[in-house]
Amino acid sequence: MFVALITGLATGALYAAAALTYNVMFSTSKVLSVTTGHISMLGGIFGAWFISTLGWPIPVALLGSMVIGAVFGLLTDFIAIRRVLARSDEHLWLLSTLALATMVQQAAGLWWGTEPKPFPRLIPQDFSAGLGDQKYWLPIAVAILLAVALEIFYRRTLYGKLFVAMSEDAFAARARGIPTGRIRSMSYVIAGAMGGLVGFAAGQLTFAYFALGLTLTLNGFIALAVGGLGSNVGALVGGAALGILSAVATYFVGGEYQQTISVGLLMVVLLVKPAGLFGSQSVRPV
């Protein structure tokens, strides 16, 4: 049972990190991109390729995975977001990001293969470490680190304050002379680098698998909705709750009910508190 809890907490950290990535993208564009989980998928696949096939040192491979994620994040903005937002206020970005995510996933499957492949050890450690194994605590540490770094970024840096300004009112920010298009692209680059880091750090837990993106996208959204859109603390709490609940459900009733439990958690939280546990409904005066 204790093993299930630790596994659930580590998996929940992945969902929390995906929710944080959602938050960064949403803050400047008001878009919930379906490519979110696929960024981490690419980080894991390319990280394994860099180390195992190309023989790169681990720090260089980590940087390479983050660059791949950042480039994909920027391409998401240019290909699937920018033109849609320029032509319509409708949620057509859902279709454009879904199409891009599907194409990237299929391309990854053709190149990498459709079977999960093991990820190299990042830190010298015996495989008998049990619950102290790095595959459990690395994703947890990275998720917490990202949440803290984002809070510092938003509160202490100029660009972070510009992100906050755009999240409050993008039209007012543009009227004040803020280059909203450039700031939005920057947010997607940052979100992409975050996703690449998460996929790299969690590779030993998830393996390098081309179909991981859809799972992280869906469960990251559930964690985001449970914790509250825009709240980094809510992302951590929502991800941990979802991961632990899914692991406990799998332990007692079997893995076939895991997704049912996840959606059930989402429904219960939204019925009780529609804005999420740490979300707030803001009223905009007109």
Q: Does residue 276 form part of some domain?
A: no
pLDDT digits (tens, 9 = 90+) for 120-179: 999 988 877 778 899 999 999 999 999 999 999 999 999 999 999 898 888 888 888 889
Please tell me the distance from the alpha carbon of residue 241 to that of residue 222, in angstroms, as a whole number. 10
Give the Å distances, CA to CA, from 90 to 85, 131, 189, 245: 8, 47, 24, 35
Mean pLDDT of 182-208: 95
Q: Is residue 245 part of a domain?
A: no
Does residue 237 belong to any structural domain of this protein? no
pTM equals 0.92
Q: Does residue 211 surpass a pLDDT of 90?
A: yes
Length of the chain: 286
Q: Are 105 and 41 in contact (CB under 8 A)?
A: yes
Residue 151 lies in a domain: yes
Instruction: Say what the pLDDT of residue 286 is.
Output: 38
143 belongs to a structural domain: yes
* Domain assignment of residue 65, yes or no: yes
Q: Kindly indicate the confidence band of residue 247, based on its pLDDT and cuts at 50, 70 and 90.
A: confident
Rounded to an integer, the average pLDDT of 97-101 is 95
Q: 3-state DSSP: the chain helix, strand, coil percent, rounded to 5?
A: 80, 0, 20
Give mean pLDDT, residues 60-74: 97
Mean pLDDT of the chain: 90
Nearest to 196 by CA among 146, 135, 233: 146
Separation of alpha carbons 103 and 89, rounded Å = 24
Q: Report if residue 110 sits inside a domain.
A: yes
Please state the domain count of the chain. Answer: 1
Predicted confidence at residue 76, as pLDDT, reads: 95
- How large is the C-alpha radius of gyration of the chain? 18
Share of the chain above pLDDT 70, in %: 96
- At 103-113, the pLDDT tens digits run 999 999 999 99
Q: Exposed, middle or buried, 79 (CB in 10 Å: 0-12/13-18/19+)?
A: middle
Percent of the chain residues past pLDDT 90, beyond the cut: 66
What is the reported pLDDT for 89?
60
Structural element, H or E, at residue 188: helix 180-201
Identify the pLDDT of residue 285: 42
**Neighbour-count burial for 13-41, b at 16+ CB within 10 Å, e otherwise:** bbbbbbbbbbbbbbbbbebbbbbbbbbbb
Instruction: Give the range of the structural domain holding residue 99, as residue numbers without chain letter.
Output: 12-122+129-211
**Structure confidence at residue 283 (pLDDT):** 46
Separation CA 26–CA 39 (nearest Å): 15
- On whether residue 70 sits in a domain, the answer given is yes
* Residue-wise pLDDT tens digits, 4-47: 889 999 999 999 999 999 999 999 988 999 999 999 999 999 99
